[in-house]
Amino acid sequence: MNHRSTITRYLTRTFLIRVLSVLIALSALLQLLDLLDAASTVLERGLGAGGLMHYTIIRLPMVVERIVPLAVLIGSLSTLWTFASTNEIVAMRSVGMTPYQIMGALLPAALIVAIGHFLLADQVAPRAERAFVTWWNETALPDEGADDEPAKPVWFRLHGSIMRVASIAEDGRRFEGLEVVDRDAAGRATALMSAQSGEYVDRVWRLTGVVRTHIGDPVRVEHDDGMVWDVSLSPGNMVDLSKPMENISIHRLIRIVRGTWAGGESPAFYATRLHSTYAAPLASLVMLLLAAPVAHGMRRRGGAMGSMALGTVIGLVFLLSAGILGSMGQAGVLPPLIAVWAPLLLFAAIGGAIMVYVEG
């Protein structure tokens, strides 16, 4: 029993070190390429070496979050191939550990990576992206903001209504050109409202130049020079709408899906993103499963390099399939549940089937 606990600690330590090493290497490479593209802009803004360092650090969580599954795949393949090539797998079997127990010993380490990935995607990356966008806009030169094209209106949904705002202030506390279409449960328009402008004062929105049209028989039109707009729309929500973020926390996604936080995309988009946030960390467990046959039998069927290549190809196909189906779910072509969870379950089954096959 002591032998097994020692082996488990050894496996966990080696796996985590390999995954972390690959993660650092890939992150450094991607950060370098990104920095080479943005360095001239940072220096033109007069930010100097400190600006380059700040740019690198503040963008790091967004880069790391995207490559965790790939790092787990490469780290798992490297770890298991090393164990097999040095006959450490044979030594583990000699103390009575089956191949499935060996993979079970690696499972806690993979869970640690999955939990870290979840926290990074849900808490760290959204905050880092918002901080980066704010800093990037604040340090922009006047001529960088010059644009001959007029500002595009912002469309969004809230409480089942469809809304349009012509322009939003930087702090989100004022907007111009509001149009609202209220709908019933069947999606039919029941009322229209327009306002020249709105301002957030004393925690409420105050509208000016309001025109309300009640659709019915007969149609009623009401004019109001000013009114309080009772809606759960905060200045922070307005900033998110004017400058949408790619990374969104689970709490925010749930509020958008429930209709208590305005979102500029379709309901299918946010539902798919919500499922993806839950499913993405589990990709690390699938990657470990896809790499498992490297240590237990694939080496006898084409050599170590062939087994490494096969594991890499299957893992990349999994990432590609998940990306394609996820995009289809966001576009509303597939139900979010199928778009997100189908590739995860399918490749988990493929990895399990291969492992059972090679182990006889």
pLDDT digits (tens, 9 = 90+) for 22-35: 999 999 999 999 99
pLDDT for the residue numbered 298: 47
Instruction: Say which residue, 297 or 169, is predicted with more confidence.
Output: 169
Summarize pLDDT for 247-296 with one digit per residue, the tens: 899 999 999 988 889 888 888 999 999 999 999 889 999 998 888 777 66
pLDDT at 302 over 70: no
- Segment 207-231 shows an average pLDDT of 88
- Would you place residue 114 in the very low, low, confident or very high pLDDT band (cuts 50, 70, 90)? very high
CB crowding 10-22: b at 16 or more within 10 Å, else e = ebbebbbebbeeb
pLDDT at 245 over 90: no
Q: What is the rounded distance in angstroms from the CA atom of residue 165 to the CA atom of residue 238? A: 10
Summarize pLDDT for 172-198 with one digit per residue, the tens: 899 999 999 998 888 788 899 999 999
pLDDT for the residue numbered 209: 92
Mean pLDDT lowest for which of 87-96, 275-284, 313-322?
87-96
Which residue is listed with tokens 């919500």? Answer: 274
Between the alpha carbon of residue 115 and those of residues 5, 77, 95, 274, the distances in Å are 23, 20, 31, 16
Q: Maximum Cα–Cα distance for the chain, whole Å?
A: 87
Which residue is listed with tokens 């006898």? Answer: 300
pLDDT for the residue numbered 21: 94
Preceding peptide of 150 cis, ω within 30°: no
pLDDT for the residue numbered 309: 78
Please give the model's pTM, rounded to 2 decimal places.
0.84
- Would you place residue 166 in the very low, low, confident or very high pLDDT band (cuts 50, 70, 90)? very high
